[in-house]
Amino acid sequence: MRCALLVLCVVAWMYVDSSQAQRKNFRIPSRVELEVALNNPDTVDKALACIEGRPCHLPDTYAPLLRNLGPELIRRRECPARLCTPEQAREAKWLIVQIQKRYPRKFYATVNRLAARDPYF
């Protein structure tokens, strides 16, 4: 289950409390950890479902972050500078590109669902 949470754990690094102007420090998963998570289609399914706002069966520590920040990450294809350090932004971009390459149907289905939900997507 831990590997399942690493797929979009990048989103967790991006979390910034609305009352704080500075970025929080988050543990950045290694490429090896991200690769393990990306190699599990169920993990990707759960994370994308959570981003779409559907039931995602992830722990409460990750689900709200994915629901709130995941759509912006998918829409921009990068982590906004106000939320991420340059290193985190680089890893987030790499992760999104990998999901897009490895799971194109799932990725674009998520993009389409988000666009249907938000006309300004």
* Residue in 51, 56, 68 with CA at minimum distance from that of residue 8: 51
Q: Could you tell me which of 12, 6, 16 has the C-alpha nearest to residue 81?
A: 16
Instruction: Give the pLDDT score at 108.
Output: 96
Q: What is the pLDDT of residues 44-95, one digit of tens each?
A: 999 899 999 999 887 676 677 778 778 888 888 888 788 778 888 888 889 8
- The string of pLDDT tens digits covering residues 108-118 is 999 999 999 87
- Is residue 36 predicted with pLDDT exceeding 90? no
Q: For position 29, what pLDDT does the model report?
A: 65
Tokens 């932004």 map to which residue?
A: 89
pLDDT at residue 99 greater than cutoff 90: yes
Please state, in angstroms and rounded to a whole number, the distance separating the CA atoms of residues 53 and 98: 22
pTM for the predicted model, two decimal places: 0.71
